[in-house]
Amino acid sequence: MRLDEACEATFARHETFHPRHGWFRKAFLAASRDRGAFFLSEDAPVRLGVGKNMVRSIRFWGIAAHLVAEASHPDGGRLHYTRPTNFGVGLLGSEGLDPYMENPATWWWLHWMLHAPTSLLPAWWIVLNEMNAVEFDADLAERVCAEVISASIWEPPHPSSIHKDVGAFLRTYARGKEGGRARFDDQFGCPLQDLRLVTISSTGYRLATGRPQNLPGEVVLAALLDYVSLTTTGASTASLARLATTPGAPGRIFRMTEDSLVDLVTPVIAGHKSLSLSAPAGAIQIGWRGDPSKLAHRLLCDYFGREPDAVAAVAGPEARLANLDPLVELRIIQDSLEVVL
């Protein structure tokens, strides 16, 4: 998958802030208020308890994770209103998979949603998919990003934008060195650091390889099915080698080898009649019957112990769409215990 197929040409829209604890949920709850106009209100900084640029950053991270989406307001107009997506409702709603984001599997799925097509984080996508080095520093990451973007069909952004995106990536996934010269605000980490996809090394940073710790096979398999639902039409099989090694595919996003991917998904597939593994000519393939996005949805609901029919779509194209049901918005407001006025 090419960069322009996997991502939108957006850079440094996070206002230099990496996502903090609670920001994804704040974005979802805020988008559920004021009929989608919360982020346009003059008092949004006061109601969220942050500065104006942080308000814009919170909104961006909600959109980047597909928890919220820009949508037209019911009364019309050209302003960019913000509404919860089906995925946001399915994950964080009162009947969602994990309303308070307490399960580590939630953060693995959120990581996938940040990078799956179509991602708003092309610099992040390049680091995970196109950078061959395992050991790297920020300068190398920025050079690789600049080279890949220059070779694409996009107009290259200003180097400072790439610098900001790489910095946000590192602060999101890598824990800072104790006693280092990190800025004060960098101490407020992101739960995505617990995935250990980027760690500190003697030369700078190190990307994970092999089989990540605490990554459930159900999440990996759901990501495989979500990916094929977004990138293929009418297929019923896919090569696990392609899903492990193609840029943009789950194997690259989760930093897994093909063997690790097979080991994780095989026992999960064995428990589902609609899924199968085969090896024609020695190449392992996953097969499915039915809509792969619905199978991914069921896998995640089963893992979190929820009835699939009671949960809004958390996988596939439908999951990324804005949820415009006013009754859903009302329930989110009534059920929320978080103070977002």
Rounded to an integer, what distance in angstroms lies between the CA atom of residue 177 and that of residue 278?
Answer: 45
pLDDT at 21: 87
Q: Which amino acid is at 153?
A: I
Residue pair 286/262 in contact (Cβ under 8 Å)? The answer is no
Q: Which of 236, 240, 232 is nearest to 282 (CA)?
A: 240
pLDDT at 187: 52
Residue 271, burial from CB neighbour count under 10 angstroms (0-12, 13-18, 19+): exposed
Calpha distance 60→15 (Å, rounded): 9
- Per-residue H/E/C for 154-205: CCCCCHHHHHHHHHHHHHHHCCCCCCCCCCHHHHCCCHHHHHCCEEEECCEE
Per-residue pLDDT of 257-291, as tens digits, reads 999 999 999 999 999 999 999 998 889 999 999 99
Q: Identify the segments of the chain with pLDDT beneath 70.
A: 73-79, 177-188, 329-330, 332-341
Domains of the chain: 12-210+323-335 (no CATH), 217-313 (1.10.10)
Question: What's the pLDDT score for residue 327?
Answer: 74
Q: What is the pLDDT of residue 181?
A: 42
In whole angstroms, give the CA distance from residue 39 to residue 51. 12
